[in-house]
Amino acid sequence: MARRISRRQFLMVGVGVTFSALSACAPATPAGPAEKPVETPKPVSEPVKLELWAFVNTHARWFRSMAEDYKKDVNPNFELDVKEIAYTEMHDKLLVAHQTGVGAPDFGDVEQGRFGGFLKGQIGFVDLTEWLKAGGYLEKLVASREALYTWQGKVYGVEHALCPVVLYYRADVFSEPGFDSPIETWDDFVAAGKTLAKDDVKVWALGQWEVLLRQRGGDLFDADGNVTVDSDLAVETLEWELELRDRHGIADEPPGGSVYNPSWYGAVKEGKYLCHVSADWYAGFFEDNVPELSGKWRAMPLPVWERGGRRTSCLGGTGLTISKTSKHINEAWKFMEYSMLSVEGNVRRFLMTRLFPPFKPAWEDPRLHQAVEYFGGQDLGALFADVGAEIPAQYQHPYRPEFYSIWSGKYWRDVLDGKKPAAQALKECADELRKMIEEEL
């Protein structure tokens, strides 16, 4: 029996996750001062108490830790009230607060899959673009990660995590006598999988096509906001993943329908899955839920589609935002700068949350390069930094939440069960999404 999930299991991303999204337009709110160049203000002397909503408990602990030091180092009259709220409740409450202009916190820690829903109508977040430019932070942050919080040229959030996707694999099995198959390309991976997969032992859990699509340079939407869910590349990538099961016999649907389900971890513990494609944060999921396999797992860059190609993708993310209705926007920015845009803040977050930072100046800090016992003493930080420069963009869109709802609710099951071809399902899903966007514009 797998241990109960205790780490960020609510980070629901990709295929099979339905997001609740509200689409009402918000009333006009005062423009944030960050919409024009603003010099970083000096610390205020009067008492300042800010409120922050977070849905990840490890994020909340890190914010509190940074607030304590900010109070010591910058403003002795600073207080930060961090409220931990369940994933769905937090995002729904924040969306309503922005739509009504009433009750929003100073900060909202918004998950990337829900972020698009906040871009409809009057946007309630402060535009951080000029502040980020003035501080030189756009060059220090991995630009492709900031795409998740950018809309129509304006940046509304700062990402917590690099989220590089790697291939986790059972090193003990891959090093067994008689197995000598170096894995550089996905063709190599398929060949290795055919050697290692047998009976009910597999090397792949279906549901990763969106990650693979981004590795290949595609996405659900393009940089101009066009729906690209049914592009030739998207169709080809989904068909390739399905062939891992239907043609090569090395994959199947994860137990319980999700790689965050206790049944999946039970199967991993029993050795039924030898590989998994996921982001940096999933390393902690293995440690928490399958501690019995400590020392047997390793991680490597993703196999490439062609020689010299991209060796990673991206999955997940959460961005810190400032509400326009905040009465202390300047002080909120200063705390964001102190915590999210400093080497010390990013390193401490890694130590407390296991999220490898998207802040490049922190990558060489030795505290990010500790040997991880669970992964046989591997320096996972070195791997994440190595592929970090190759992270693809993941474009945000007001209707990204609707895509996940439509796809998981109406099409993915039929594709898995062979009731509808991948090309037809993606085309119907994309057309439904385009019609929804057109009707609501």
CA torsion angle for 229, 230, 236, 239 (degrees, to 10)? 90
Report yes or no: 259 and 278 within 8 Å, Cβ to Cβ: yes
Structural domains of the chain, ranges and CATH numbers in brackets: 33-161+316-388 (3.40.190.10)
Kindly state the DSSP code that residue 69 receives in the 8-state scheme.
H
pLDDT, residue 182, reads: 74
Q: Which residues pair with 298 in a beta bridge?
A: 169
CA torsion angle for 105, 319, 26, 227 (degrees, to 10)? -170
> And the tokens for 72?
């010591």
pLDDT, residue 31, reads: 39
Q: What is the mean pLDDT of residues 83-105?
A: 97
What is the Cα–Cα distance from 14 to 284, expressed in whole angstroms? 19
| H helix or E strand, kind and range, residue 155 | strand 154-155
Of 11, 46, 65, 147, the C-alpha closest to 339 is 65
Under the banding of pLDDT at 50, 70 and 90, the label for residue 78 is very high
Sheet holding 78-84, edge to edge: 78-84, 48-54, 107-111, 318-322, 158-159
Of 238, 227, 219, the C-alpha closest to 411 is 238
Asked if residue 39 has pLDDT above 60, the reply is no
pTM of the complete model: 0.85
- Radius of gyration of the chain measured on its C-alpha atoms: 22
pLDDT, residue 388, reads: 93
Asked if residue 243 has pLDDT above 70, the reply is yes
Asked if residue 30 has pLDDT above 70, the reply is no
Q: What is the mean pLDDT of residues 327-348?
A: 97
**What tens digit of pLDDT does each residue of 285-306 get?**
999 999 999 999 999 999 999 9
What is the Cα–Cα distance from 159 to 5, expressed in whole angstroms? 24
Asked if residue 27 has pLDDT above 80, the reply is no
Q: What is the mean pLDDT of residues 149-156?
A: 96
pLDDT, residue 354, reads: 86
**What tens digit of pLDDT does each residue of 162-214 get?**
999 999 999 999 886 555 567 999 999 999 999 999 889 999 999 999 999 99
Under the banding of pLDDT at 50, 70 and 90, the label for residue 440 is confident
pLDDT, residue 265, reads: 97
What is the Cα–Cα distance from 132 to 135, expressed in whole angstroms? 5
